Amino acid sequence: MSSSTASPTPRPPGRRGIVLGALVALLLAPLLALIALGAPSASAATAGAAPAGCQFPTSDDGAIHIQGCLRDQRTSPPTPVPDVKVSVTGPDGAVIGDAVTDANGIFDVALPGDPLSNLNKDFTIKIDTDTLPENAALRDPSQVELKVNFNTTNNYTVTFPIDEPLPDPPGKFIEGLQLLVGGIVFALLLAMASLGLSMIFGTTGLTNFAHGEMITFGALVGLWVDQLPGKISLPGIGNVTVIVGVLAAFVVGGIFGYVNDRALWRPLRHRGTGLIAMMIVSIGLSIFLRSVFQYLVGGNNKSYSQYSSVEPWSIGQILITPRDVAVVLVALAALIGVSLLLQYTRLGKATRAVADNPALAASSGINVERVIAAVWTVGGALAALSGVLLGITQGFNFQLGFKILLLVFAATVLGGLGTIWGAMLGALVIGAFVEVSTLWIPSELKYVGALVILILVLLVRPQGLLGRAQRIG
Amino acid sequence: MDFGSILTFTIEQAFGPLAIVYCLAAIGLNVHFGYTGLLNFGQAAFMAVGGYTMASFVAVFGLSLWLGLAVGVLMAVVLALLLGIPTLRLRADYLAIVTIAAAEIIRQTLGSVTFDRKFDFGGQDGLQSNFVADFRALNPLDGPISIGPISWRVNDAWVMIVGWALVAICCVVVWLLMRSPWGRVLKAIREDEDAVRSLGKNVYAYKMQALIVGGIFGAFAGFIYGFYKNAVIPTDYATDTTFYAFTVLLVGGAARVLGPVVGAVIVWGLLSGLGAFFTQAARNDVIPNWLMNDQQASLMRFIILGLALMLIMIFRPQGIFGDRKELAIDGR
């Protein structure tokens, strides 16, 4: 009996090749778009307009001097604004010194008393806006006072920018849209990591706490390619070092995932190690790998040599960098590619069968070990790709993956642990929520919001959005 | 290489205040995981709640330290209730994810600038004002404790006396609890939840009680941490703290009363000893500098800790003193 009869519908020869070819094309096209960005990225740095010509007087009387330089920023170069009254109020509310700007727009107030006794006290510097020239006003009309507090006896410089008033801040709606754009970029990267985690859970039952390290690994492969001596250039296209790094991360990440399974998890499965024991092993692996990564690259933040500052495009009032567009396209290509593989190839169908019921899949002739090896390979590649793209968009350090691991968990649990479409849906919701929620909550607490969602979902719908209701307790 | 000083440092740390902290946290995890089978990955949250309550009572609210300790225990109970209600009905892997998430929620909130602005909790710097003054005032020692070359500073020695006494009391309590009918129900839940349920026991209530008891031990760990450092800092209560406490428990042997004690002494002693060894080896060029610099030397112990956790879970999941027959760690 030939193996092809096992398939319900005979497949025209070469169809698999077409699918694979389409996949490769899908992946490569956005990368080419990234290449196009390579050239202008270097010119993106802009020189800040330094307040040239502000020569503050120096003195040796030992007192703390509060100094400032009023310049009308509407002209270029900025013109000094003379004859403006500035007063300094002490901690008790009494005026302790005042000054008028000279022809260079400079004022200088010496604080009376022992400089040491002036430390760690609140002083208020106030500008008398009535003495400003007729046509000039502060850029921020409400900011006529500045509160300062010294912890050294050095002179202190304050500024009152004189300029056109700032345009009204964008409304909540525009701000929300802008955050949503950032949220979608992040969500797609999260989705790649979540998809791998969910597939691994679905096929093996392992909750892999070392998945974050597979993400970090991708960013590190990108870094190592970037740090190779010399640049990788293609004739006619230019410097493609980081692009090569992205591709390398994808490929080496896949190998890393395969090796993970082959060297550690498969032997453990064959020994009959329990799932909770394996979960704790994955924690050990996470600590081990994270420390090794820190050993290799150190503790500081890293970024790649290209695309770290890119001039954004503006669409209406929304800003989006071409880099983010390319990242979104690469991520979409990878996600759609894996989805197509899962949906239409034999291996993909086998994967879904194993995720659904491993024992049944095995008894119907599916090689479960082969499926699991493929899942680890794809999961590792996706995680690494997610890591290197996260590195491109926001920089990274050795904790990159560990820091977002809980969000990856939140996404998979929200979508339904072990489901494939659920993982992606959950990641989209969590990723967008994390960014957009900063409209209402401080951005330092944005991850907290996502984790609260995770707990609420488990209260209300423990099987997740797309999970099948089953006993999980 | 000065092996004498490495050995002294190892012994000082093996019995020092931090070993006590991890020992107490692991005793709590032992009740959770070892006896009841609850995979609580949020033990750091109980430590944080204990430590922060104690410290904030003095440093923020200006109240008594002793009242802070009492309320700290109470807060640990409240946290156990809050954490238990949504999670205790879930399977082990879900419980692990939710507890770890809850611990991070608490840590990131306590350490946030927003929280600092509202309640003066110090943000990422934590509470550092001298809130243990009342505790140190009770110190009967007037100098460091020295045994030969081994020596503990006067404040550390006082923390150690109190801490090891607390460990002893906790061990006795755990021993008494676990040989009581209540403890036997917990162990039965660990082995077969459905069987216990079919005998008419309220499994959910027993799990909740176990979570509370273990959480209180976690709060004790937070107290000792605060006493020792005279500071509570959010990074001290990160996820890794829970993982280290798990390592301590698993090395010593889960479901054994003295497992956490032995585990803490061994793990913390070895961790410190390895740290000192590699630091010296890198500094004295025993290991060449291109291979390992000072900073990398300090990481070797965590690399080894991760490896050790993996190996012990694979080859001896019952730990050093555990009984493999009593505890077959597995879910589903």
| Whole-number Å distance between alpha carbons of A190 and A387 | 9
Check pLDDT > 70 for residue A12.
no
Residue for token digits 């060297």? A263
A453 and B CB contact within 8 Å: no
Average pLDDT over residues B305-315: 92
Distance (Å, whole) CA A405 – CA B207: 27
pLDDT value, residue A32: 61
Q: What value does the mean pLDDT of chain A take? A: 83
- Find how far residue A430's CA is from the centre of its chain: 14
- What is the rounded CA–CA span in Å between residue B206 and residue B177? 13
User: Which residue from A minimizes the CA distance to B298?
Assistant: A295
What pLDDT band is residue A21 in, cutting at 50, 70 and 90?
A: low
Which tokens in the block code for residue B175? 């021993």
For residue B325, name the pLDDT band (cuts at 50, 70, 90): low
Residue A206 banded pLDDT, cuts 50, 70, 90: very high
Find residues 274-303 of chain B whose CB sits inside 8 Å of chain A.
Answer: 295-296, 299-300, 302-303
What pLDDT is attached to residue B1?
Answer: 76
Question: Helix, strand or coil for residue B154?
Answer: helix
Measure the CA angle with vertex B85, ends B81 and B90; round to 5°: 130
Whether residue B186 is predicted with pLDDT greater than 70 in this model: the reply is yes
DSSP state of B117: H
- Read off the pLDDT of residues A57-116 as tens digits, 9 standing for 90 and up: 777 777 788 888 888 877 777 788 888 888 888 877 788 888 888 888 888 888 877 777
For the segment B141-154, the average pLDDT, to the nearest whole number, is: 88
For the record, the structure tokens of A86 come out as 């500035």
DSSP-assigned states of every residue in A218-269: HHHHHHHHHHSSS--EETTTEE-HHHHHHHHHHHHHHHHHHHHIIIIIHHHH
The predicted structure's pLDDT at residue A29: 64
Best mutation target among A197, A283, A289, A300 (most B Cβ atoms within 10 Å) is A283
Which residues in chain A have their CB less than 8 angstroms from residue B196's CB?
A: none
pLDDT digits (tens, 9 = 90+) for B80-100: 999 888 788 877 778 888 899
Contacts of A151 (CB under 8 A, 6+ apart): A119, A120
The pLDDT of residue A125 is: 84
In chain A, % of residues over pLDDT 70: 87
Output the pLDDT for position A330: 94
B322 residue type, one letter: G
In the chain, the amino acid numbered B189 is I
Partner-chain residue, chosen from B88, B299, B313, that has the shortest CB–CB distance to A277: B313
DSSP A14: T
DSSP annotation of B34: I
Any chain A CB within 8 A of the CB of B309? yes
Cβ of A455 within 8 Å of Cβ of B102? The answer is yes
Q: What percent of chain A is helix, strand and coil (3-state, nearest 5)?
A: 55, 10, 35
Q: What is the pLDDT of residue B105?
A: 94
Distance from CA of B3 to the nearest CA of A (A): 24
Using CB atoms within 10 Å of the CB of residue A25, give its burial: 0 to 12 exposed, 13 to 18 middle, 19+ buried: exposed
Q: Which residues of B touch A291 (CB under 8 A)?
A: 299, 302-303, 305-306
C-beta atoms of A205 and B332 within 8 A: yes
CB A66 within 8 A of CB A111: yes
Lookup: tokens for A470: 């089953």
Which residues 219-278 of chain B have a CB within 8 Å of chain A? 240, 243, 246-247, 250
Compute the average pLDDT of residues B103-124: 88
Flag whether pLDDT at A277 surpasses 70.
yes
Average pLDDT over residues B21-32: 96
Q: What is the pLDDT of residue B129?
A: 83
Structure tokens at B226: 């605060």
User: Which pLDDT belongs to residue A186?
Assistant: 94
- HSE of A258, CA atoms in CB hemisphere, 13 A: 12
Mutate to test the interface with A, among B113, B117, B279, B309 (most CBs of A within 10 A): B309
Q: What is the per-residue pLDDT for B327?
A: 61
End-to-end CA distance of chain A: 45
What confidence category does residue A20 fall into, taking pLDDT thresholds of 50, 70 and 90?
low
CA distance A412 to A383: 14
| pLDDT recorded at residue B224 | 96
pLDDT score, position B64: 92
Instruction: Phi first, then psi: give them for residue A81, nearest 5 degrees.
Output: -115, 105
Contact (Cβ atoms closer than 8 angstroms) between residue A51 and residue A71: yes
Question: Closest Cα of chain A to B17: distance in Å?
Answer: 23
User: Is A284 near chain B, with CB under 8 Å?
Assistant: yes
Q: Contact B101/A281, CB-based, under 8 Å?
A: no
- The pLDDT value recorded for residue A210 is 96
Nearest residue in chain A measured CA to CA from B95: A473
Q: How many Å apart are CA A247 and CA B271, to the nearest integer?
A: 39
The whole-number pLDDT of residue A30 equals 62
Nearest-CB residue to A451 (from B94, B101, B329): B101
Beta carbons of B125 and B233 less than 8 angstroms apart = yes
Hey, which residues 11-70 in chain B have their CB within 8 Å of chain A?
A: 39
What residues 6-65 of chain A have any CB closer than 8 A to a CB of chain B?
none
Q: Give chain B's end-to-end CA distance (angstroms, integer).
A: 50
Q: At what angle do helices B17-29 and B154-179 cross, to 10 degrees?
A: 20
From A122's Cα to the closest Cα of chain B, the distance in A is 18
Is it the case that residue B182 has pLDDT exceeding 70? yes
Distance CA B37, CA B191 (A): 8
Look at B331 and A268 and tell me if their CB atoms are within 8 Å.
Answer: no
Q: Mind telling me how many Å the CA of A144 is from chain B's nearest CA?
A: 24
- Judge contact between A214 and A383, C-beta under 8 A: yes
Per-residue pLDDT band for A7 (boundaries 50, 70, 90) equals very low
Q: Do B314 and A271 touch (CB under 8 A)?
A: yes
CB B73 within 8 A of CB B247: no
Query: Do A442 and B112 make contact, defined as CB atoms within 8 angstroms?
Result: yes
Residue A274, pLDDT above cutoff 90: no
State the DSSP code for A398: T
Beta-bridge partners for A233 = A239
pLDDT in the model for residue A340: 93
Question: DSSP for B201-216?
Answer: --HHHHHHHHHHHHHH
| CB distance B57 to B222 below 8 Å | no
Q: pLDDT tens-digit profile of A119-154?
A: 777 788 888 878 888 777 777 777 778 877 777 777
Share of chain B above pLDDT 90, in %: 65
pLDDT over threshold 90, residue A391? yes
Coil vs helix vs strand at A88: strand
pLDDT value of position A50: 42
- Whether B299 sits inside 8 A of A280 (CB atoms) is no
Residue B311 has what pLDDT?
92
Q: Do B306 and A288 touch (CB under 8 A)?
A: yes
Work out whether the CA dihedral B295, A208, B196, A464 comes out positive or negative: positive
Residue A237: predicted pLDDT? 76
Question: How much is the average pLDDT of A354-381?
Answer: 92
Give yes or no for B307 touching A (CB within 8 A): yes
Nearest to B31 by CA among B50, B46, B9: B46
Q: What are the chain A neighbours of B313 within 8 Å (beta carbons)? A: 273, 277, 280-281, 284
For A464, name the nearest residue in chain B, comparing CA atoms only.
B94
Residues of B in contact with A409 (CB under 8 A): 97, 100-101
Specify the pLDDT at position A473: 47
pTM comes to: 0.80
Asked if the interface predicted TM-score (ipTM) of this complex is over 0.85, the answer is: yes
* pLDDT of B50 above 50: yes
Chains A–B, number of C-beta pairs less than 8 Å apart: 141
Question: What pLDDT, in 10s, does the model give residues A399-416?
Answer: 999 999 999 999 998 888
Which is it for the CA torsion A302, A307, A311, A314, positive or negative?
negative
Does residue A158 sit at the B interface (CB-CB below 8 Å)?
A: no
Answer yes or no: are the C-beta atoms of B242 and B44 closer than 8 Å: yes
Q: For residues A146 and A125, is the Cβ–Cβ distance under 8 A?
A: yes
Minimal C-alpha gap between A61 and chain B (Å): 36
- Comparing A337-346, B123-132, B206-215, which segment has the lowest mean pLDDT? B123-132
CA distance B102 to chain A (A): 7
Distance in angstroms (rounded) separating the CA atoms of residues B332 and B329:
10
Distance from CA of B192 to the nearest CA of A (A): 12
User: Per-residue pLDDT averaged across B160-186, rounded?
Assistant: 96
CA-nearest of A405, A186, A442, A301 to B111 is: A442
Contact assignment for A277 to B330 by CB distance below 8 Å? yes
Supply the pLDDT for residue A442: 87
For residue A21, count CB atoms less than 10 angstroms from its CB and return exposed for 0-12, middle for 13-18, buried for 19 or more: exposed
Collect all residues of chain A within an 8 Å Cβ-Cβ radius of residue B94. 413, 417, 458, 462, 472-473
In this structure, what token pair is assigned to residue A71?
């310049």
B18 pLDDT band (50/70/90 cuts)?
Answer: very high
Peptide bond into A80 cis (omega under 30): no
Q: What is the pLDDT of residue B326?
A: 65
Provide DSSP, A124-155. Answer: EEEE-GGGS-TT--BSSTT--EEEEE-SSSS-
Model confidence at A393: pLDDT above 50: yes
d(CA B57, CA B49) in angstroms, rounded, equals 12
Q: In the predicted model, is pLDDT for residue A44 greater than 50?
A: no
CB A331 within 8 A of CB A189: yes
Picking from A127, A134, A80, A132, the residue whose alpha carbon sits closest to that of residue A106 is A80
Helices (runs of H) and strands (runs of E) counted in chain B = 14, 2
